[in-house]
Structure 1
Amino acid sequence: MIKAEKIYKSFGPLQVLKGIDLEVRKGEIVSIVGPSGAGKTTLLMIMGTLEKADSGRIYIDNHELSSLSEKKLSDFRNRNIGFVFQFHQLLPEFTALENVMIPALIGHAKHVEAEARAKDLLCMMGLSERITHKPAELSGGEKQRVAVARALINDPLVVFADEPSGSLDSDNKEELHKLFFELRDKLNQTFIIVTHDEQLASITDRTIHMIDGQIVDQ
């Protein structure tokens, strides 16, 4: 369902990715691990269309993304890709409900439909009593679950997560890790997760090991 072919990326004289080939199936939870500087986040950003490769191709659901214009790529990203980052990236002036609704409204969903979908997702996250709270009124674990709901609002083909439990305590980490698998079971959701968390990597369907810009083991 997702395929990266011969992905190369440099920043100035530093070659960060050195010919990455990777495939991920629908409904798979894949972790990407490796030391700092291995190229994990760069690969995630390129697969998620937030960065451009110097060469190579990315396919998602048989769409070859490098051929799309910026406008079409932005539309594709909004409809088909969700993101979860380490520090939530919630907008502080909006409530949990409003934060989750934003990608749907950007995608021109009707307000009433976006609101209903956002409420359903927040309830699924165990946050039905927190939907009117702003990020400053939420715990770290609650903020990350809001971020997961936001990533899912447009029913994406894949969710890319960059160190999603990196800022959480051990109890909230465990809850978040369980949530990923519950969402895969309920929604057949695909997750690609960059992580330093060995416990999370050990329970994913497949672990991709990267060193010096290359995949060394799957």
Structure 2
Amino acid sequence: MINVKQVHKSFGDLQVLKGIDLEVGKGEIVSIVGPSGAGKTTLLMIMGTLEKANSGKVMIDNNDLSKLSEKKLADFRNKNIGFVFQFHQLLPEFTALENVMIPALIGNMKQGAAEKKAKKLLAMMGLSERMEHKPAELSGGEKQRVAVARALINDPVVVFADEPSGSLDTDNKAELHSLFFELRSQLNQTFIIVTHDEQLASITDRTIHMMDGRIVEKISD
């Protein structure tokens, strides 16, 4: 479903990715781990179309992302890719419900349909009573569940998560990790997760180890 072939990326003279090959199947939950500076987030951003590789190819659902114009790439991202970031990136002036609806409205879903779907997703996240609250009125765990609902609103083929539990306490981490697997069970959702959380990495279907811009067999302690 996702196929990365010989992806290289440099920032000036700094070579960050040095020929990455990776395949991820539909419904897989894959973690990417490694020390800071290994290239994990850069790889995630390239697969998520937020960065461009210097060379190589990324295919998602048989779409060669390098062949899409900026406008088509933005449209593809909106319809096919969900994101969950460490600090949730919710818009503070909007309610939880409105935050979840925004990607659907950008994708030209009608307001009524977007609201209905957003409410269903927030209910699935256990947030039925928190829909009209703004981010400042939500706990850290609630904010991340809103972010997950937002990532799912357009039925993406894949959700990319960058340190999604990095700012959460132990209980909220466990809840978020369980949520990923519940969503895979209910929606056959694919997740690719960059994490330093060993507990999360240990329960994913597969762990990709990175070091110095390459995928390695396993990072020694």
Q: TM-score, normalised by structure 2?
A: 0.98
Q: Which runs of 5+ in 2 are unaligned?
A: none
The amino acid that maps onto 1:14 is: L
**How do 1:61-210 residues align onto structure 2 when only pairs under 5 Å count?**
61-210=61-210
Deviation at 1:111, TM superposition (A): 0.3
- CA–CA distance in 2 between the matches of 1:188 and 1:217? 27
In structure 2, C-alpha distance between the alignment counterparts of 1:19 and 1:217, rounded to whole Å? 15
1:54 aligns with 2:60: no
Output aligned runs, 1:13-52, within 5 Å: 13-52=13-52
In the alignment, the residues of structure 1 paired with residue 95 and residue 196 of structure 2 have an alpha-carbon distance, to the nearest angstrom, of 30
Other structure's SS at 2:97 match: helix
Same amino acid, percent of matched pairs: 83
Distance in 2 between residues matched to 1:93 and 1:40, nearest whole Å: 31
Spell out, residue by residue over 1:20-59, the C-alpha distance to the aligned partner (whole angstroms, 9 max, x if none). Answer: 0000000000000000000000000000000000000000
Letter aligned with residue 124 of structure 1: M
Q: Is 1:5 matched up with 2:8? A: no
Q: What is the alpha-carbon distance in structure 2 between the residues aligned to residue 135 and residue 33 of structure 1?
A: 29
Q: How far, CA to CA, are the matches of 1:60 and 1:29 in structure 2?
A: 16
SS of the residue corresponding to residue 89 of structure 1 reads coil
Local SS of the residue matching 1:129: helix
Q: How many pairs does the alignment contain?
A: 218
> Deviations for 1:65-101, whole angstroms, at most 9, x for unmatched residues?
1000000000000000000000000000000000000
Query: What is the rounded CA distance, in whole Å, between the counterparts of 1:171 and 1:202 in structure 2?
Result: 17
* Distance of 1:4 and 1:49 partners within structure 2: 12
Cα deviations by residue, 1:115-170 (Å, 9 ceiling, x for unpaired) = 00000000000000000000000000000000000000000000000000000000
Separation in 2, partners of 1:24, 1:88? 24
Distance in 2, Cα, partners of 1:195 & 1:25: 19
CA distance, structure 2, for counterparts of residue 116 and residue 204 of structure 1: 31
| Superposed displacement of residue 217, structure 1 | 2.1
Detail structure 1 runs of 4+ shifted over 2 Å in the superposition.
none
